[in-house]
Structure 1
Amino acid sequence: MDVLKVSSKSNPNSVAGALSGIIREKQIVEIQAVGAGAVNQAIKAISIARGFLAPNGIDLVCIPAFTDIIIDGEERTAIKLIIKPWNK
């Protein structure tokens, strides 16, 4: 599964474009975000991606979870958002 790492400085439109492309190609993507600002940008990106994918009849579902990651040799807890098409 492809992993997109989002920071508080990530451009939501750029992340949305990458997210949309991966969804079209592989049907599933994981977003990792550490901190409130990064989670905010990730949620914005998912919302924008829904708009990109809607004309093709694709809606999204988001499954949130926690995951432990290593940043600069230090273990941190990140929010993991699994995004995939919603089969109605």
Structure 2
Amino acid sequence: MEILRVSGSSKPNALAGAVAALLRTQGVVEIQAIGPAAVNQSVKALAIARGYLTENQLDLTAQPEFVKLGADQEERTAVKLLVRATPLV
């Protein structure tokens, strides 16, 4: 499963394209975002990606959770979005 790490300066349209492409080919993708700006960009990208997926008769679901990331000395809390493709009803 691919992991996309998002920053506050990530472009939502570019991220949406990557999410849509991975959902079409793999059916699942993980997004990790640290900080409110990164979470905001991630949610915008998911909204845009839903539009990209309609031409393939797909929708998406996202399962959010908090995860601890980081090296030995600095541990940070991130929002992880596990995103899955679902058939469009």
**Shorter-chain TM-score: which interval?**
over 0.9
Which residue in 2 is equivalent to 1:77?
A: 77
Q: CA RMSD in A?
A: 1.5
Flag the 1:10–1:2 CA change in 2: closer, same or farther, 3 A.
Answer: same
Q: What 5-or-longer segments of structure 2 have no aligned partner?
A: none
Matched residue of 2:58: which SS?
coil
The alpha carbon displacement at 1:74 in A equals: 1.1
Taking every aligned residue pair, what percent have the same amino acid on both sides? Answer: 47
Flag the 1:86–1:75 CA change in 2: closer, same or farther, 3 A.
Answer: same
Which residue in 2 is equivalent to 1:46?
A: 46
The alpha carbon displacement at 1:71 in A equals: 6.0
Which residue in 2 is equivalent to 1:22?
A: 22
The alpha carbon displacement at 1:86 in A equals: 2.4
Cα offsets for 1:17-71 (capped at 9, x unmatched): 1111110111000000011110000000000000000111101000001111116
Which residue in 2 is equivalent to 1:10?
A: 10
**Whole-Å Cα distance in 2 between the matches of residues 45 and 38 of structure 1?**
11
**Whole-Å Cα distance in 2 between the matches of residues 71 and 55 of structure 1?**
41
Alignment TM-score, normalising by the size of structure 2: 0.92
Alignment TM-score, normalising by the size of structure 1: 0.93
**Whole-Å Cα distance in 1 between the matches of residues 75 and 69 of structure 2?**
6
Residue range with higher mean Cα deviation, 78-87 or 45-54: 78-87
The alpha carbon displacement at 1:72 in A equals: 9.0
Contact 2:24/2:85, CA 8 A, preserved across alignment:
no
Q: What 5-or-longer segments of structure 1 have no aligned partner?
A: none
Which residue in 1 is equivalent to 2:64?
A: 64
